[in-house]
Amino acid sequence: MGFNAGIIGLPNVGKTTIFNALSNTKAEMANYPFCTIEPNRSIVAVPDERLNKISDILKKENPIPTKIEFVDIAGLVKGASKGEGLGNKFLSHIRNVNSIIHIVRCFENSNVAHVEGRIDPIRDIELVNTELILSDIELLENAKIKLERKAKSGNKEVKKRLELVCEVIKILNNLDSGKALLDEKLKEKGFGDDDFVLLKEYGLISLKPVLYLANVGENGLSNTYSDEVKRYAESTDAQFLSISGKIEEEISELPPDEKTEFLNAMGLSESGLTRLIKSSYKLLDLITFYTTATQLQAWTIKNGSKALTAASKIHTDFSKGFIKAEVYNYKDLIEAGSEHALRESGKLKFEGKDYAVKDGDIIKFHFNV
């Protein structure tokens, strides 16, 4: 199972431009087993400075980075929840992603029409979010009807679920024009982790983490429009980033050495796309661990995952026949300077299957099949 982020936004905000730029970046990694699943899906390497440092110390060539998938979800217009535009198809795609990159148009260009007539980022955001909330309400209303039927038997679990669904519908109906704060409100009402697990089954869009991406045009990385988006993101506990889609697309088409030159000339240490990929990864609450047995490779798991889950990422044999994990952390390796010194320092530990993997762990699994 991979992790993915869906790119959404009104038409003509720069989704395709930014998605194409992301798609171009994957070609940079000669050693990267990327693939394009469908024209609107792209798997890209997650830039990770640690991987190169580990590669230097352990003398492992051609490290394999971990990856994240981006999905370009076109088709959102006003009325999508009522079937306008691509309507339900659009909404089902969005239910299937782990997080949302909501692109907001913050660039002026008289040659590119704005579907709502003029640039107004907050109106755009709320228009999109309202459609998303309406679609969640509709989904839950349907679930409620089924649950009410089932609840007649007196089943406690069903009753509890019905209560939860009714509460979520109430909250969503009162959310102030699309501020996606459903989880906060649920917590205020005393709903806990178990309830969120139940809700996950419905694939509620309102519960997915969101990053607002201001597409700012060619004159610098912020303007008054993007400032508005930033404030909105802060007020709703969402992430924010601004980039210029057009410039990123141009940079992504350059050969690697020219790219570095271009960025240096602009006084930037990394491209907007690199920032976007890293932020998308962070948004998902993921951590990276590494294996070095055959080739140095970075892997992704959800923060808080156990060693057994990490093992199953690599091969089912690793988890089925799990014996123990030999673990040390990237930071200790850097401090020690070599694997030999690290072993001497006593920082290498043997852990069982319930060990909570930490970001930057370098793991060798022992297994028996």
By C-beta, is 105 or 161 nearer to ligand GDP?
105
Taking contact as CB under 6 A, which single stretch among the options 24-32, 154-162, 239-247, 271-279 is the one that binds ligand GDP?
239-247
What strands, in cross-sheet order, belong to the sheet with 286-291? 297-302, 286-291, 361-367, 322-329, 349-351
Residue 43: CB minimum distance to ligand GDP, A = 19
**Site for ligand GDP contains 319 (CB under 6 A):** no
By C-beta, is 8 or 46 nearer to ligand GDP?
8
DSSP state of 306: B
By C-beta, is 215 or 305 nearer to ligand GDP?
215
By C-beta, is 11 or 203 nearer to ligand GDP?
11
Six-digit token pair at 93?
């795609």
Residue 109: count of CB within 10 angstroms of its CB = 13
**Site for ligand GDP contains 11 (CB under 6 A):** yes
Q: Judged by CB under 6 A, which of 17, 24, 236, 297 binds ligand GDP?
A: 17
What strands, in cross-sheet order, belong to the sheet with 4-8? 41-45, 67-72, 4-8, 99-105, 210-215, 239-243
Nearest one of 211, 251, 205, 249 to 16, comparing CA atoms: 249
Q: Which amino acid is located at 248 in the chain?
A: E
**Site for ligand GDP contains 272 (CB under 6 A):** no
Radius of gyration of the chain (CA): 23
Taking contact as CB under 6 A, which single stretch among the options 56-64, 104-112, 123-131, 351-359 is the one that binds ligand GDP?
104-112
**Site for ligand GDP contains 9 (CB under 6 A):** yes
**Site for ligand GDP contains 109 (CB under 6 A):** yes
**Site for ligand GDP contains 235 (CB under 6 A):** no
Q: Judged by CB under 6 A, which of 12, 88, 130, 222 binds ligand GDP?
A: 12
By C-beta, is 184 or 218 nearer to ligand GDP?
218
Structural element, H or E, at residue 256 = helix 256-265
CA distance 143 to 6: 25
Collect all residues with Cβ–Cβ distance below 8 Å to 98 and sequence separation of at least 6.
3, 4, 5, 208, 209, 284
DSSP, collapsed to helix, strand or coil, labels residue 31 as coil
Q: Judged by CB under 6 A, which of 6, 245, 272, 360 binds ligand GDP?
A: 245
Residue 4: CB minimum distance to ligand GDP, A = 18
Counting residues that bind ligand GDP (by CB under 6 A) gives 17
Q: Which residue matches tokens 């404030």? A: 231
Taking contact as CB under 6 A, which single stretch among the options 8-16, 139-147, 191-199, 333-341 is the one that binds ligand GDP?
8-16
DSSP state of 40: T
Q: Judged by CB under 6 A, which of 63, 65, 121, 217 binds ligand GDP?
A: 217
**Site for ligand GDP contains 232 (CB under 6 A):** no
| 154 backbone dihedrals φ, ψ, rounded to 5° | 85, 5
CA distance 214 to 196: 30
By C-beta, is 102 or 179 nearer to ligand GDP?
102
Please report, as residue ranges, which positions from 167 to 206 form the binding site for ligand GDP (by CB under 6 A).
Answer: none
Residue 212 pairs with which residues in a beta bridge? 102, 240
Q: DSSP characters for 322-352?
A: EEEEEEEEHHHHHHHSSHHHHHHHT--EEE-
CA distance 157 to 302: 28
CA distance 45 to 189: 40
By C-beta, is 122 or 166 nearer to ligand GDP?
122
**Site for ligand GDP contains 16 (CB under 6 A):** yes
Six-digit token pair at 327?
């673990």
Residue 112-131 contact track with ligand GDP, rule CB under 6 A, x = bound: x-------------------
Taking contact as CB under 6 A, which single stretch among the options 5-13, 131-139, 148-156, 311-319 is the one that binds ligand GDP?
5-13
Q: Judged by CB under 6 A, which of 3, 70, 90, 107 binds ligand GDP?
A: 107
Q: Judged by CB under 6 A, which of 4, 6, 15, 22 binds ligand GDP?
A: 15
**Positions that interact with ligand GDP (CB under 6 A):** 9, 11-17, 107, 109, 112, 215, 217-218, 244-246
